[in-house]
């Protein structure tokens, strides 16, 4: 070594120098990888130790969970007295039943008007109403002394129902909250029919009295009351929809009887028809009668499948977002 | 006869007097009936002549009508330009888009709050949501590196969405009317899940990282835009429901990772999750994306039968009123 140090250094051949560098680089890479692997393994075991559950435990846990995957049961607030629920709702929505002014709802009028216009301009819709009316009038409810009933006029009118004001009150008896919607509907919703009263004695169809009737609703105003009915003892609740008894319902009846000589607009017939329709209307929907409207439960089977698919799509999208 | 007249009048026997009266009465009744019948027949023929159609004519007419009972075809208003429809609606509902003030809708808040309370207090409803969520999360959308997902928390919150104000404007591009509903919803709608990230290399389930995540929507406010979309060339129209892009949607993400040593509330994870959900939300419903909501046609077959039955009941009731 010393001898070689004193002599003039031999020129190292280029090839062997390259080989040395090559060896050095290889060794460096080996060391680099070894260092990374040891540190990686160390960290892996540390992480596994501290954060992860071990394989054995995991397998046991997974098997256990798969076997008895218990569903989370949502906590339902303890039922409080129904009146308390109502006052809670009022305070949370900051609605003071005593002092809150009557609210207008012109935007809803516009929205309704748009929907109604759509139906009115839809010839398919009109045709199907006429079709159904025709079937019903000529169906098994038609008495034997009437000939076929022919619809001669049908119109859903030109105007729109107008909501004048909305107010929430407590209903008198039940202490439920009642939404009172004052509305007005001045229009010509018209149904015209033509038929004949048959004389079936002494033999069938011996003579017939042609009758043409046109019935229009010209004015309908009043207060629509929507009450959210809850029963303290049963879980069921529903919307009761009725018209308060200060309503106004005006009909116009045009009648034309007779074959050659015609009798027009018999006042007796008009009052008979309107009083019949009015009494059915009162029986059906004027308070204390009401239409019961169940709150949809969302969970028909078809509906549930739809919700499931919707959610699955959503999860997919979140995954790919 | 004259001889008998001079002699003292024989006392008429009571029996024969009675017989005479009897005969008289009988004759009167006969005459009465005859008189009525002749007048009745006369009037009948007069009425039949003037008012009724004759038997022959009636039969021909009836047969004709039965054979080709043509349905009345409702007249549909001539379609005018869509913008004209809109301005007609606005004038009929007296809504001035420029000057109408923003309307409050507190009564609707109360009505919504009542409905939401019903759902929240309904354990069946909550259980089914959890059930569906569980199925979806553990269904085929779950990637292989996740263990079973277990729902640990689910809450629909305590507060209610509040509508601040409603205004109708013309939409910028389409010139349709757009109802803009400003709303605010500060609540804790929460979903908590627990799962484990599985390490499947070098062999399956060698280790698992338990992950617990709780995601809450704490603040959601913005403007819901409901646009009634009509196309001038096609008859179809629908409601487009979207959220305008000035919305605010804040999440709270609580996370807990690890088995023995636990890492709590990783900010990176929280921002990753919220940004993913937010981007899906923006893609799905924020304007110009929208949810299309078809206006129900009423005339599904089941629906049509229901309407028909309802109408038949009504006709029956009117008959018996």
Q: Residue B157: left if φ>0, alpha if ψ -120 to 50, beta else—which one?
A: left
Q: pLDDT tens across B91-133, in order? A: 888 888 788 888 888 888 888 888 888 888 777 778 888 888 8
On average, the pLDDT of chain A sits at 79
Q: Radius of gyration over alpha carbons of chain B, in Å?
A: 42
Cα B113 to chain centroid, rounded: 19
Please, are residues A69 and B149 in contact by the beta-carbon 8 Å criterion?
A: no
Q: pLDDT tens across A100-127, in order? A: 888 888 888 888 888 888 888 777 778 8
Share above pLDDT 90 across residues of chain B, in percent, rounded to a whole number: 1
The answer to whether the CB atoms of B74 and A126 lie below 8 A apart is yes
- Distance, in Å, from the CA atom of B153 to the CA atom of B149, rounded to the nearest integer, reads 12
Is pLDDT of B73 > 80?
no
Q: Best of A45, A47, A53, A179 to disrupt the B interface by mutation (most B CBs within 10 Å)?
A: A53
Residues with Cβ within 8 Å of A15's Cβ and at least 6 positions away in sequence, in order, are none
Q: pLDDT tens across B251-283, in order? A: 888 888 877 777 787 788 888 888 888 888 888
The answer to whether the CB atoms of B100 and A109 lie below 8 A apart is no
Query: How would residue B210 be classed by pLDDT, with cut points 50, 70 and 90?
Result: confident
> Which residues of B fall within a CB distance of 8 Å from A76?
120-123, 126
The answer to whether the CB atoms of B321 and A110 lie below 8 A apart is no
The pLDDT of residue A128: 82
The answer to whether the CB atoms of B74 and A127 lie below 8 A apart is yes
The pLDDT of residue B4: 46
Is pLDDT of B136 > 80?
yes
Taking residues B286-293, report their average pLDDT.
83
The pLDDT of residue B78: 61
Q: pLDDT tens across A264-297, in order? A: 877 888 888 888 888 888 888 888 888 888 776 6
**In chain A, where the domains are located:** 104-311
**C-alpha dist (Å) from residue A109 to A118, A177, A208, A249, B178:** 14, 23, 47, 20, 13
Taking residues B138-147, report their average pLDDT.
78
Determine contact: B115 vs chain A, CB below 8 A: yes
Is pLDDT of A240 > 70?
yes
The pLDDT of residue A65: 66
Is the entire prediction scored with pTM above 0.90? no
The pLDDT of residue A2: 45
Residues with Cβ within 8 Å of A174's Cβ and at least 6 positions away in sequence, in order, are A227, A229
Is pLDDT of B150 > 60?
yes
Please, are residues B149 and B195 in contact by the beta-carbon 8 Å criterion?
A: yes
- Distance, in Å, from the CA atom of A193 to the CA atom of B68, rounded to the nearest integer, reads 17
Q: pLDDT tens across A74-93, in order? A: 666 665 565 777 788 888 88
A233 or A237, which is more confident: A237
The pLDDT of residue B196: 82
Query: How would residue A59 be classed by pLDDT, with cut points 50, 70 and 90?
Result: confident
> Which residues of A fall within a CB distance of 8 Å from B106?
93-95, 100, 103, 168
Query: How would residue A1 be classed by pLDDT, with cut points 50, 70 and 90?
Result: very low
Share above pLDDT 70 across residues of chain B, in percent, rounded to a whole number: 84
The answer to whether the CB atoms of B118 and A295 lie below 8 A apart is yes
Query: How would residue B5 be classed by pLDDT, with cut points 50, 70 and 90?
Result: very low
Question: How many angstroms away from the CA of B262 is the closest CA of chain A?
Answer: 7
The answer to whether the CB atoms of B168 and A115 lie below 8 A apart is no
The pLDDT of residue B3: 46
The pLDDT of residue A106: 86
A22 or B206, which is more confident: A22
- Distance, in Å, from the CA atom of B191 to the CA atom of B137, rounded to the nearest integer, reads 12
H helices present in chain B, as ranges: 2-6, 14-50, 55-67, 82-92, 106-120, 123-137, 267-285, 301-320
The pLDDT of residue B46: 80
Determine contact: A143 vs chain B, CB below 8 A: yes
| Residue tagged 């992480």 (tokens) | A47
Q: State phi, psi for B292 to the nearest 5 degrees.
A: -90, 130
In the three-class reduction of DSSP (H, G, I as helix; E, B as strand; rest coil), residue B295 is classed as: coil
- Distance, in Å, from the CA atom of B117 to the CA atom of B110, rounded to the nearest integer, reads 10
Determine contact: B297 vs chain A, CB below 8 A: yes
On average, the pLDDT of chain B sits at 79
A 226-265 residues with CB < 8 A to B:
226, 228, 230, 235, 237, 257-263
Query: How would residue A4 be classed by pLDDT, with cut points 50, 70 and 90?
Result: very low
Query: How would residue A5 be classed by pLDDT, with cut points 50, 70 and 90?
Result: very low
Residues with Cβ within 8 Å of B127's Cβ and at least 6 positions away in sequence, in order, are A71, A73, A74
């Amino acid at each position: 070594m010393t001898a070689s140090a004193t002599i003039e250094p031999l020129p190292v051949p280029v090839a062997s120098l390259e080989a040395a560098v090559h060896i050095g680089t290889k060794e460096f890479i080996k060391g680099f990888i070894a260092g990374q692997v040891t540190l990686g393994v160390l960290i892996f075991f540390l992480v596994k130790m501290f954060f992860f559950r071990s394989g054995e435990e995991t397998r046991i846990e997974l098997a256990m969970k798969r076997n008895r995957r218990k569903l989370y049961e949502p906590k339902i607030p303890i039922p409080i007295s129904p009146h308390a629920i109502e006052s809670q709702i009022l305070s949370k929505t900051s609605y003071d039943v005593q002092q809150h002014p009557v609210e207008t709802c012109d935007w809803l009028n516009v929205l309704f008007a748009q929907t109604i216009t759509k139906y009115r301009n839809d010839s398919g819709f009109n045709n199907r109403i006429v079709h159904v009316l025709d079937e019903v009038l000529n169906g098994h409810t038609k008495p034997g002394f009437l000939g076929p009933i022919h619809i001669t006029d049908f119109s859903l009118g030109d105007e729109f129902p107008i909501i004048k004001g909305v107010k929430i009150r407590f209903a008198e008896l039940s202490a439920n909250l009642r939404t009172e919607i004052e509305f007005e509907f001045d229009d010509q919703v018209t149904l015209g029919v033509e038929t004949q009263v048959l004389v079936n004695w002494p033999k069938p169809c011996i003579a017939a009295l042609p009758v043409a009737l046109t019935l229009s609703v010209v004015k309908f105003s009043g207060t629509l009351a929507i009450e959210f009915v809850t029963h303290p003892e049963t879980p069921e609740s529903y919307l009761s929809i009725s018209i308060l008894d200060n309503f106004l319902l005006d009909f116009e009846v045009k009648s034309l009887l007779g074959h050659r000589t015609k009798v027009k607009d018999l006042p007796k017939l008009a009052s008979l028809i309107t009083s019949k329709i009015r009494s059915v209307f009162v029986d059906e929907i004027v308070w204390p009668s009401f239409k019961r409207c169940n709150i949809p439960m969302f969970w028909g089977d078809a509906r549930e499948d739809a919700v499931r698919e919707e959610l699955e799509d959503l999860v997919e999208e979140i995954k790919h977002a």
